[in-house]
Structure 1
């Protein structure tokens, strides 16, 4: 998939998400003020953060889909990681705001819900809409291998649980009239919002620190494919890094000392091709050649000896 097609799919997905979430957010916040329900208002604010998330992924998608240039030889894909980091902080802030306001209302017993049936109806609409949007965004994210869109989809999956909680709680309030249920639900929603923001923050931090969980599979692929090569031995100093959806690999490899440069190059080219066949988003592999038994003190990188320790983490 080329840059233009990827950007087109990403833009369409983000615009659909923005318009759908805008409709839901306006509806929920309006109903929240109309009924004095903090629970549906909190759910509306959560949906409003989804608008921001989708808008950020839209902008980041346009930047990240630019091809590499002289200033950015690895490409622009980390724009998505930056967007995820910014959005995560906004989500965490929104969660704390909802939490503080809900606790204050609970302490003051300032809870009078009017027309609770409207809240139930809106919450039900939100659950159905969010489920459809979640499945759509997740499929798009996997198709174009965009971590930002996948993170946005997973956030929407959390919204399904959030809206479901509001729906169940408001049904209970409608039939029982228990005054504190609305604030209690809002507090629960706030924790869900904070949790989502924190997870996105940690995920983007891992990518900046080049310790993404996805890279564990990459190291397995490199070692397994090297074992299948006739002359290649001891793949070591293997280091993989993620730039958005692209992966770059550096590694050292031992080959027979008597072979020619052309033969060594042919072996490396074949190994590179085999590795890329296993993972399509691997864009480049740099292989440093060493003779058999080359004694070097390796202080970093992955090899056959420490790959087990990585899997256990």
Structure 2
């Protein structure tokens, strides 16, 4: 991990008290664990003694116990708190696992990386559920920078709103909003006439907010008056070997536009109003024109 910022690494409900969870954030393996009291901690997923994984270990009162030789590490500081083969009067050597700051907000577990300022806004602050939630996690076979680019160039390759067709028509140019690049696309209800022409008004919009730094992608399905129908936050981060870790939460707004009969029936049946694709079609991505993503990369060069 090199970038000093907060990343979303897991859903709160994925980490039960007394349990561990192995995640990869910004390319580094992290062992999450939650104490019996409910507090979440994050350590580098390597024991400093023999470099074995810590995540298969047991949660103890003193922290996370390595499954190999039983050394226990405090979650807040990473300091070794117990070595089983030492006598009680022997001093514990100054061994420590790397510990990362952890914060939970709106159902997301965040980990702060690097040595940057920790006062930045948590990515999960952009998400406030206002309806029944649908959540998930996956590892996608696409590199992290490419995932962000495709979310601008062709979000239909990465997610789907059942009953809706996302068009390739941009409504305006990408615009900077703080640390994100925002782009609107036209969308139509499926089965509602021929494909849209450039002069046709679109009854729906798909708005993507893609970060210039970090991985908090916010996607909204809006009606023509820009009232939200569906909101989701997809948290992405670099995994190993050119893949991307994904975690998401989303919901359909309770007081949104009713939509056509099929849309209403899916809502009544409790079906998810969106799908985040874990299996990505490489041929579809290769066919995309790299257009809005060029703006993101230009912005990144300006920031650098």
TM-score band, normalised by shorter chain? under 0.3
Higher Rg:
1
**TM-score, structure 2 as length reference:** 0.18
Higher helix residue share? 1
**TM-score, structure 1 as length reference:** 0.17
